[in-house]
Amino acid sequence: MSSDFPPAYQNWEGTDPVDLFNAPVLRSECNPKVHIRRHLAQEARGCTYLILWLDCDREGENICYEVINCTGIPENEVGRRIFRAKFSSVTEKDISNAMDNLVLPNKDEALSVDARQEIDLKVGVAFTRFQTRYFQGKYGNLDSRVISYGPCQTPTLGFCVQRYQQINTFKPEKFWSLRTYVIKDGDEIQLEWDRKKLFDFDVTVMFQKMVANDGTLIVTDISVKEECKARPSGLNTVNLLKVASSALGIGPQTAMHMAERLYTQGYISYPRTESTAYPASFDFRSVLSALVHNPLWSNNIRTLMDAGFVKPRQGHDAGDHPPITPMRSASEEALETDAWRLYQYICQHFIGTVSPDCRYTRTAVEFTSGGEIFRCVGHRVTSKGFTSIMPWLAVAENNLPTFKNGDTVSIHKVDIYEGSTTPPDYLSESELISLMEKNGIGTDASIPVHINNISERNYVQVNSGRRLVPTALGTTLIRGYQCIDADLCLPDIRSFIEQQITLIAKGKADHLQVIQHVIQQFMKKYSYFVKKIENMDALFEAQFSPLADSGRLLSKCGKCGRYMKYISTQPMRMYCITCEEVYYLPQNGTIKLYKEIICPLDGFELLLFSMVGPDAKSFPLCPCCYNSPPFEGIDKLFGAIKLDDTGKLGKGAGMPCFLCPHPTCKQSMITQGVCACPECSGTLILDPVSAPKWRLLCNMCNCVVLLPHAAHRITTTDKKCSTCESTIIEVDFNKKATPLEDGATLHEGCILCDELLHSLIEMKHGKSFFMRRGRGRGRGRARGRGGSRGRGRRGNSRHDDPKMSFRDF
């Protein structure tokens, strides 16, 4: 289920963002087309018990209660008819154990998720709508569809900008150090100066002369110690994401999706866990036995099982799930390349946790010369331990020649090295994840989402080494928050919210009171932010170009008759300099002037929008009608239509020409519509720019019907078919390819009832073409040749693909 506002609050223009703080919140299916609610209700009929096998975290507990609600079983039946299965992997042993030890769903944890979702929705949408409307209405080169704010997302961006500011304000300083070399047993050895480096060149030269004049080094101390490098503790989600980014080059969100797939395929245990400690009863031997047949680590495992493996180090037990563990063997051929690399690391890490520590001998030799102290250190590995399976963590061996206390060694040379201090590098994804975890920003499941969001919103760019470089937009936003209310971009405020959420999850706080308290705090911050927005606007003005200076002249405004500018950077829009009006356009496509045709309703010149990709749709639109539909009930008649990712106009507000019910306009649905779509409740519209590959396109789904390609021209007429009420079309065939007798080229007919036309059409996407009977264009349901109803089963309909749906605009 997802949380959203009621339809009355969906229109960006008609709703003051401050009203959203007190608006009701509705829960609805994320993907209503698959009818999960109906399916669960049907399956629950006649059932005596409900056992919930959802993910074993807070979000999973929340979904438990969503399922209970869908089934219709009363919530008070928890403990009598409703039970909860707790498990960490989908192996037979874990499933059987969970079934034998059923527990109750946790209502408090479920409510904590509801509270977080409501807070994030109201705060995020209120600030986002205000910022987006304010800045996109003034500046043309922001290159972002939406200027978003989020209680987690914005502090995440703040970390990146903070590092960026540290880099920009960094002032390098020169330093000097001594590099002293000796030759022992034919090997040249560089010694480390005890002072490391100095920031005064003259003083460094003085020390160089003192050492050079002495000419020899005396061994004053030799230290030999047995040391060990500890094996890793169990692998949790955050550490997995950090390694995936820094070592494997896989972004956090991609890595999380891969881990979830590996889990559902049974290869690993539950991938969302904060724990690094295994329970005392964990069966390590069975896991090792499941992996022993893989040749990559079979020798390591056999050695461990023969000599006796060690238990992992004591880590952190968060009380949720055991660390991420491989559950069964996989082959490289069975998985995609990156998924295999991730699985391989999980296996190596687990084997490393039950391997001995790496042991080595550390030898340190101390010298003096001219009153200065120098050292050299050597390492000799005595037992590789876990580094045999995790070689990237191995101790670098460096064997020193034999020295004795009191030995005198001649100095080979003493050089002065000049260097400069360097600024820190941009934050890597791995470093950012550590900062987010340390400051309580997001959960192990949501951290990848927040990092992905600031990248997709064009606030940061992911450079080589997966380092995050803030864009001008991201930097300006954070600087603006700092000028108005620094709390808005600091992690402290999110940490406070998470503390309150945790209290709800533990049953120590009422979720309604927490929501009310947090919302009241953010309402005050929002009101102050709106009053002081000029402070942020001054930064935007210095960084970005006004709309009047952006874009290119394209089409005439219907209000003033002057040319409007087309701004191609996201979000694509038209801007009238004279009227100072912004008209948003569909996204992810191209825009051009459409034959200088004037909209009869408002006098604006029409534009032609073309989607990107093969078989992509093209359709005309009026900028004014698209933003402010002149006919009421368009959203109720054709369903909720989201214009673009900004949600600028809310659901149901967009009206291209193929949805326009104008009775006489040559571009409207009334005049260009041909017949009912066999796939949905839409209408098949003649694509006016598809020549010479003429086609009909559904105005609601991705159904495409190819018309005769031998046609020179195809147009709709004002005549209706007497049988099915579809619009009669006129086809002007090419002389050389006409199918008509005696070389005739002109033919009128209904594509459903006319035998000639029906034989020449072809269904490109959707069902085999429907039979000729219908109940009226745009309203009826024409039947297919096999007698099936025109509205296809949604599970098999290609228009269910959201990438092809008009609702994505």
Tokens of 558: 């219907």
Q: What are phi and psi of 685, to 5 degrees?
A: -110, 140
Q: Is the peptide bond before 24 cis (omega within 30 degrees of 0)?
A: no
304 and 312 Cβ atoms separated by less than 8 Å = no
Give the CA angle between residues 670, 797, 769 to the nearest 5°. Answer: 60
Tell how strand 26-28 and strand 2-4 pair up. antiparallel
Distance CA 197, CA 561 (A): 71
Query: What is the rounded CA–CA span in Å between residue 683 and residue 727?
Result: 11
Strand 82-84 to 50-52 pairing: parallel
Q: Which residues touch 100 (CB under 8 Å, ≥6 apart)?
A: none
Burial of 280 (0-12, 13-18, 19+ CB in 10 A): exposed
Q: How many Cα atoms are found within 13 Å in the side-chain-facing hemisphere of 11?
A: 11
CB 143 within 8 A of CB 546: no
Rounded distance between C-alpha atoms, residue 236 and residue 256, angstroms? 12
DSSP state of 566: E
CA separation, residue 198 to residues 177, 204, 215, 217 (Å): 6, 7, 22, 21
Q: Is beta strand 618-621 parallel, antiparallel or unpaired with respect to 50-52?
A: unpaired
Q: Are 684 and 674 in contact (CB under 8 A)?
A: yes
Among residues 278, 281, 359, 352, the alpha carbon closest in space to that of 314 is found at: 278
Q: Which positions ≥6 away from 432 have C-beta within 8 Å?
A: 156, 159, 160, 451, 468
187 exposed, middle or buried (CB, 10 Å; 0-12, 13-18, 19+)? Answer: exposed
What are the structure tokens assigned to 427, written together? 């934050």
The Cα–Cα gap between 18 and 653 comes to 21
Tokens of 560: 């003033």
Which member of 267, 270, 345, 459 is catalytic? 270
Active site residue 149: no
d(CA 391, CA 242): 18
Radius of gyration of the chain (CA): 34
Say which amino acid occupies 520: Q
Q: Tell me the catalytic residues.
A: 270
